[in-house]
Structure 1
Amino acid sequence: MGHTDNAATPAPHNISDNPRPRTLLSIPEHEADAFFTAESWAELNELCDVVEARPDALQDLECFRDVAQGTSIFITAWGFPRLESERLELAPELRFVMHAASSIQTLVSDEFWAAGIPIAQAGDAMAPSVAELSLTFTLALLRRTPRFDHALRSGADWSDARTAASRPREISGARIGVIGASRTGRRYIDMCRALGAESTVYDPYIHEGDELRAYAADLPEVLSSCDVIAIHAPETPETRGLLGAAELAAIKDGGLLVNTARPALVDEDALYREVSSGRLDAALDVFGNEPLPAGDRWRNLPNVLLTPHLGGATVDSRHRAGWIVVSEVRRFLRGEPLQHALTSDRLKVMG
């Protein structure tokens, strides 16, 4: 959990002898056209000799070897093969990895860190869009929208539909409990405060001098005192199972839970028991079992709002990510400090 500051860049390897280094761009097919505008695509191609290959094809070692030979830069996204020793040996000229998505947990390995290859990611691009979905969820739950919508769609009488839930609330004056002072959590806090909400934050990594320090509280206080609990922490060994049965039971009756972060932070069975009982309402963008099966238990509850893991998948966030990719590649080629670099130490608290 916690705020992530931009890190200094490891000294780049010298590739000045190649003015347009061979660069592998590997984006899943369903996202292939989402990241780059005409302008950012043109700039990337001015900087690099771009070769494209889909991540699923690169699972094959021979295909990976053929593409990786002579390649200096990898631009990766979801599904790219893990960069372990076997893969690194097939990419002897690799000098920089730019991850166009957020988490790199499944991409890097101990061998990768030992190789000293700089890596950066475009996770900052998603923070506004994920925070905005969390705000959308928050507003919908406060207004009891899922319950009213379900009543009308299931054929309830008009007067019965109007009493399908307790009287709605506005966000102004509501108390929002935020778990994780991440870049997304901070965006969400700013949005909620702009609409008049109060906020309390749990994050053990909020440092002295951070403006959020004044709003920090321990987890039991956040859970028991807030109207809405919004999860914005990364998945790490420390945060897995953070909200178990006891923690969920500590949320006050009628509480609202929003999760646009990672499913592993919440005991899903315990949450289901609380929501299906009617004691809590929830809005979820992430699930332990994805894609969510057609007959999944969550789909028919009247007091839950569901979206299929698309919090960061807006047109705008993808274009922002594309520009971050171009900017970081340019900085690397010029030997300038990267603005979105990661290290193994930072990864331990970022997820």
Structure 2
Amino acid sequence: MTPPNRASAEGPGTTGQSPNLHSAGRVRAGKPEALVVMSRDVFESQFDLERLERLHRLAQVPDPVFVDDLDVPALDERLRRVEVLLTGWGAPRLDGARLDRMPRLKAMLHCAGTIRPQVSEEFWLRGVRASTVAEANAVPVAEFTLAAVIFAGKKAPFIAADAEARRSNGLRIHRYGELSNLGRTVGIVGFSRVGRRVVDLLQQLDDITCLVADPYADPLEVRAAGAELVELDDMLPRVDVLSLHAPALPSTKGMIGARRLAALRDHATLINTARGSLVDTEALEAECASGRINAILDVTDPEPLPADSVLFGLPNVMVTPHLAGSLGTELHRMTDAALDELERYASGAPLVDEITSDDLRLSA
């Protein structure tokens, strides 16, 4: 998940050195040689002095500490020696040509969520290991979703956006449906990292019924989490809130289309903090424009929406620019998780969040 309004990386060949840290005198035999690969602004946001010092304790990190372009010829010797890449937003795809320059590469530890843009078939064929901090990034997304569910119950974003409703002392408030979070039914589509966390957080609400739709979920695990596993089409007419947490795959593209939106009860709220491609935007525009259902959208298709999208002008729709994922100090949680993995790798311990090519078939 890419932070909103991210400045583009600087031009080819941009490299960075850690402030007040130099590799000379710090390299110890036995530590893997590492290189950070991500855009400059991501690097500066994720690696403060404390985390740079920890990186140097765990690995050999000759200059440059980080790069945002792997195709610079001057990096040949550095890449020939590197064993571990710490990648992030803005990192290039590791195709055959780039991997040829890194014959000793054994692991890519991704300091963000999905690794899909970074890996290639050649990456897997060469036996390079991969890890992600998607679990750490799931924390703020689940928190954002909980807040969205609570606000949806009170219809707060929609009333706040409706000037006439605000001025009417409540006379028009109920046009958005009943205002309550007591005894609500919330549908979770996708028992993913985020979906599981949302189910757990929802248990804080009084008299909540939580339904989960996921063809790959274990019914016993879902029930242990406090929810009930049901078919998606059976779920839709039962929920007050439908929250999407499925991955963007060919099989999930447009899964919430006109037919399924029409199956939602009047005044239900659709929340999407996953991927915009899960929803048929044209069908959602029609349903929301009618006033029949509401929506809270942190992701859209396309992203961003065209400036003239009807969704921007509807009081029963709240659109945020991909804010749910890690931002600000939350980025340090992802860096810490990646450095934890580096420490495990360096000590020969199993990686906690290792990803295989098979895992990518069903995940983001």
TM-score by length of 1: 0.87
Gap runs ≥5 in structure 2:
1-27
Q: Deviations over 1:74-125 (max 9, x none)?
A: 1111232111111111211211100111111111111111111111000011
CA distance in structure 2 between the aligned counterparts of 1:192 and 1:211, rounded to whole angstroms: 13
- Between 1:238-247 and 1:18-27, the stretch displaced more is 18-27
Counterpart for residue 107 of structure 1: 118
- Between 1:221-230 and 1:27-36, the stretch displaced more is 27-36
Counterpart for residue 6 of structure 1: none
Matched letter for residue 96 of structure 1? A
Which residue of 202, 210, 234 corresponds with 1:221?
Answer: 234
Q: How does 1:164-313 map to 2 (within 5 A)?
A: 164=173, 165-166=175-176, 168-196=178-206, 197-207=208-218, 209-212=220-223, 215-313=228-326
Q: Does 1:163 align with 2:176?
A: no
CA distance in structure 1 between the aligned counterparts of 2:93 and 2:39, rounded to whole angstroms: 15
CA distance in structure 2 between the aligned counterparts of 1:67 and 1:45, rounded to whole angstroms: 16
Aligned pair in 2 of structure 1 residues 222, 61: CA closer, same or farther (>3 Å)? farther
The answer to whether the 8 A contact 1:148-1:161 is kept is no
Q: Deviations over 1:282-316 (max 9, x none)?
A: 00111222344444432221111111112112445
Counterpart for residue 137 of structure 2: 126
CA drift of 1:252 comes to 1.3
The answer to whether the 8 A contact 2:256-2:278 is kept is yes
CA distance in structure 2 between the aligned counterparts of 1:156 and 1:218, rounded to whole angstroms: 37
Counterpart for residue 13 of structure 1: none
CA drift of 1:200 comes to 0.5
CA drift of 1:336 comes to 0.9
CA distance in structure 2 between the aligned counterparts of 1:45 and 1:100, rounded to whole angstroms: 16
Matched letter for residue 210 of structure 1? E
Aligned pair in 2 of structure 1 residues 239, 18: CA closer, same or farther (>3 Å)? farther
The answer to whether the 8 A contact 2:177-2:267 is kept is no
Gap runs ≥5 in structure 1:
1-16
The answer to whether the 8 A contact 2:36-2:65 is kept is yes
CA distance in structure 2 between the aligned counterparts of 1:264 and 1:81, rounded to whole angstroms: 23
The answer to whether the 8 A contact 2:37-2:86 is kept is yes
Q: How does 1:7-46 map to 2 (within 5 A)?
A: 18-36=29-47, 38-46=49-57
TM-score by length of 2: 0.84
CA distance in structure 2 between the aligned counterparts of 1:147 and 1:327, rounded to whole angstroms: 42
CA distance in structure 2 between the aligned counterparts of 1:242 and 1:49, rounded to whole angstroms: 46
Aligned pair in 2 of structure 1 residues 19, 271: CA closer, same or farther (>3 Å)? same
The answer to whether the 8 A contact 1:36-1:323 is kept is no
The answer to whether the 8 A contact 1:148-1:162 is kept is no
CA distance in structure 1 between the aligned counterparts of 2:147 and 2:347, rounded to whole angstroms: 41
The answer to whether the 8 A contact 1:88-1:112 is kept is yes
SS of the residue 1:289 aligns to: coil
CA distance in structure 2 between the aligned counterparts of 1:235 and 1:97, rounded to whole angstroms: 22
The answer to whether the 8 A contact 2:245-2:273 is kept is yes
Greater relative contact order structure (CA < 8 Å, 6+ sep): 1
SS of the residue 1:194 aligns to: coil
CA distance in structure 1 between the aligned counterparts of 2:91 and 2:322, rounded to whole angstroms: 19
Matched letter for residue 28 of structure 1? S
CA drift of 1:63 comes to 6.3
Q: Does 1:69 align with 2:80?
A: yes
Q: Number of paired residues?
A: 332
